[in-house]
Amino acid sequence: MPSPSSPPIDLQIADDLIAAQWQDDLEPQLIDYIKIPALSPSFDPEWESAGHIEAAVTQITEWLRTRPVQGMTIDVQRLPGLTPLIVCEIDAFVASGAEPASDKTVVLYGHLDKQPEMTGWRDDLGPWKPVREGDRLYGRGGADDGYAAFASLTAIEAVQASGGSHSRCMLLVEASEESGSPDLPAHIDALADRLGDVNLVLCLDSGCATYDTMWLTTSLRGLVGANMSVDIVTEGLHSGSAGGVVPSTFRIARHLLDRVEDSSSGEVLIDAARVDIPDYRVNEARAVADELGSLALEGPPFVEGAGPVTDDVTEALLNKTWRASLSTTGADGLPPTARAGNVLRPNTTLALSLRIPPTAEATEVFAELEAKLTSDVPYGAAVSLGHPELANGWHAPDLEPWLAAALNDASETVFGKPMRLYGEGGTIPFMGMLGEKFPAAQFVITGVLGPESNAHGPNEFLHVPYAEKMTRCLALILATHALTPS
């Protein structure tokens, strides 16, 4: 195994600082953060009066202000009607006797809003109940993405303390990511003059395929979401007298969904959601499949006798990273089974979540989806698509040689293994937005959402030792970037 090049910081000093920070400070902070039910605005329309997002903002900003980081200013940007944005600006830092650091800006990104509680938590766990069990810190939001702000500033602090340099840094922590980041464009526009010339973006909101090396996210799927509402009568009717005369709204919904998804295979039948997968991304998926084998398919907790859509690991990886998939994530109009009378219901509303390939255009997909669901509706039923949520995916630009080397060196130094490349099936709207605003920037998208971590679901956890190691990697990347010619 090739040895990494000479590190740009004193590794012992940096490692000791980061280890102590995680044990004495970061984990206690995350325990307090997990207790805050800071639901994203889509799940808590009264978020402002509820005060939970503000509580998370207060906790994080107060912690940031305690850290002995030179050249740091912290403020909370507030725009009317929008969730706040934490802005932590750190001047370029040059180690004693070192050459001036790069004059470019590094943006570090995280978010503090959370997904809703979800059912199915273990009896001894809960979304707002932090529990440390072995390497795992259970609770909503620790890994997605509360740790990011704490890890990012700790990495910067470690660089300054261990003889390294770093470029000017802007740490941005938003509060609407789990709602599709609707508030972020206005915040970024308001920060345009302060952001300057961004040439590196570090985002810790993604995942990893294993906990034994650093995984770089090379693509993210986009998202088209909407609530499909089907109405047929103005009130519920006795199913004995109306059944067979009045069609079921659930059946109509099933019929309409058959227009957009093959129910036997799961294939999405929307032309705008089909793309040609680049050959090198197919080869990338094949390499991950060869390395992980069946382990790549062992994450979902299938019930006994159930299994994945395909046993072909490469095809499964491509399915979840470069092909569209449809999920029905919620429903209205359906009473609980214990209270379901013999009533033909007047309405069925289904929350549709359509993940789209990284290079598909969300507006085009939505237009085709809307046309398929609302035109020529059976029986003349009233169909509408409400609360649309559109986010384009993201496809990473090629790594510059210095960054590819820096990532590999960091992974070799911290994990003893080279960096691995990995496509992700989730969506981070911020990435596509910054990719458009800063087309020359390099991107490091990574994270700690690994096997069984179950982001957005029950029993979500942060793998604490892995998060600590990723903090070390981040410090090495920042210090190497500072030595790279602009």
- What's the average pLDDT block by block, 10 residues per block, for the chain (486 residues)? 69 98 98 98 96 98 98 98 98 85 88 96 98 98 97 98 96 95 94 92 94 96 97 97 97 98 97 97 95 82 92 95 97 96 97 97 98 98 95 92 96 96 89 83 95 94 98 97 83
Judge if 229 and 292 occupy the same domain.
Answer: no
* Residue 367 falls inside a structural domain: yes
Judge if 377 and 261 occupy the same domain.
Answer: yes
* Residue 57 falls inside a structural domain: yes
Judge if 27 and 141 occupy the same domain.
Answer: yes
Judge if 131 and 201 occupy the same domain.
Answer: yes
Structure tokens at 141: 């939001």
Judge if 207 and 244 occupy the same domain.
Answer: no
> Which of 347, 369, 391 marks a domain boundary?
391
Judge if 405 and 382 occupy the same domain.
Answer: no
The pLDDT, as a whole number, for residue 437 is 82
Judge if 137 and 270 occupy the same domain.
Answer: no
Name the residue range of residue 145's domain. 11-220+393-482
Q: How many domains does the chain have?
A: 3
Judge if 361 and 456 occupy the same domain.
Answer: no
Judge if 31 and 80 occupy the same domain.
Answer: yes
End-to-end CA distance of the chain: 31
The pLDDT, as a whole number, for residue 257 is 98
Judge if 57 and 114 occupy the same domain.
Answer: yes
Residue 451 and residue 87: Cα distance in Å, rounded? Answer: 31
* Residue 431 falls inside a structural domain: yes
Judge if 371 and 458 occupy the same domain.
Answer: no
Backbone angles phi, psi at 109, to 5 degrees: -125, 140
Residue 201 and residue 232: Cα distance in Å, rounded? Answer: 50
Judge if 268 and 410 occupy the same domain.
Answer: no
Question: Global pTM?
Answer: 0.88
